């Protein structure tokens, strides 16, 4: 009898241990699920919080930038800056540093070169409102405001010849010296051929169709294009068609880095184009004038 009781007690203890084990395991499973759900929810809250912070930060930066634009514009007017300089802010907000520094740097020495090393045949991207030459006088204006033509010529000459000393200030001086700028500080089309010849380049003018333009650009022959109102200007402007990529045109816009970072279709350019000049490098030595 005692042996039977022992066996029954043993079985009861085993059953009890199993139940305790199952309950403990169940509790652990429930805790694990609860933790996972909580962690997931916290992750969502963290993501939401992060996105909210980003939106607030971007909005704050935008408001600060808008405030700075208004402040710089007001300062420029109070200081009596030229109208063309003040209007740069309305045309391209990226000119804010240039306008803000006008009073301090307008009489500074001009850079002696374009400041970048280039390989012949690679057309550098130069900006007319670059502080290294943008304050240079051009007619009754300055290069930053009216010097798109000379800046385009600087890109083409320096790119094809490798001569980094041919800056926008230098090409602008050539234009003024040879009366290739009108009373409203617009560059005459004649400048595009005369300046090219002066610095040893071959040039021919003509409106190119898509096939012709692709052929020239693929040969490494940049094209300066005069454009009317549209994507690049409200009045008139010069840009450089500098390459052909993925069936589209690479553009070096001397007034806009954003435009230079995009590829453009031929049809889009053609609608705005007024004239084109194709350039290649002659084997003559570039004149140091």
pLDDT digits (tens, 9 = 90+) for 65-104: 678 999 999 999 999 999 999 999 999 999 999 999 999 9
What confidence score (pLDDT) does residue 118 get? 86
Which residues, at least 6 apart from 133, have a Cβ–Cβ distance to it below 8 Å? Answer: 110, 111, 143, 167, 168, 169, 172
What confidence score (pLDDT) does residue 1 get? 47
* Mean pLDDT, range 104-114, rounded to an integer: 96
* Mean pLDDT, range 52-57, rounded to an integer: 56
Return the higher-pLDDT residue of 51 and 234.
234
CA distance 48 to 64: 24
DSSP letter (8 states) at residue 124: P
Token digits of residue 33: 């699920």
Helix (H, G, I), strand (E, B) or coil at 132: coil
What confidence score (pLDDT) does residue 24 get? 55
Residue 40 predicted with pLDDT over 60? no
- What pTM did the predictor assign? 0.78
């Amino acid at each position: 009898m005692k042996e039977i009781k022992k066996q029954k007690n043993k079985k009861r203890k085993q059953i009890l241990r199993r139940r305790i084990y199952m309950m403990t395991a169940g509790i652990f499973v429930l805790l694990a699920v609860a933790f996972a759900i909580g962690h997931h929810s916290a992750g969502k809250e963290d993501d939401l919080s992060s996105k909210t912070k980003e939106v607030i930060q971007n909005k704050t930066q935008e408001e600060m930038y808008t405030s700075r634009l208004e402040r710089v514009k007001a300062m420029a007017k109070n200081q009596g800056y030229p109208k063309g300089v003040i209007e740069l802010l309305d045309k391209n907000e990226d000119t804010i540093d240039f306008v803000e520094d006008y009073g301090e740097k307008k009489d500074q020495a001009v850079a002696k070169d374009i400041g970048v090393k280039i390989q012949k045949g690679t057309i550098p991207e130069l900006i007319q409102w670059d502080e290294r030459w943008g304050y240079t006088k051009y007619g009754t204006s300055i290069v930053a405001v009216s010097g798109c033509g000379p800046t385009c010529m600087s890109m083409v000459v320096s790119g094809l010849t490798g001569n980094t000393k041919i800056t926008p200030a230098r090409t602008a001086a050539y234009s003024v010296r040879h009366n290739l700028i009108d009373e409203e500080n617009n560059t005459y089309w004649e400048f595009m051929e005369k300046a090219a010849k002066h610095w040893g380049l071959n040039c021919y003018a003509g409106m190119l169709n898509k096939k012709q333009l692709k052929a020239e650009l693929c040969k490494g022959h940049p094209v300066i294009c005069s454009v009317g109102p549209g994507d690049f200007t409200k009045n008139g402007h010069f840009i450089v068609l500098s390459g052909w990529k993925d069936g589209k045109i690479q553009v070096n816009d001397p007034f806009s880095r954003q435009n230079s970072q995009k590829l453009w279709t031929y049809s889009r350019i053609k609608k705005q184009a007024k004239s084109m000049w194709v350039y290649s490098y002659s084997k003559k030595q570039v004149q140091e004038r």
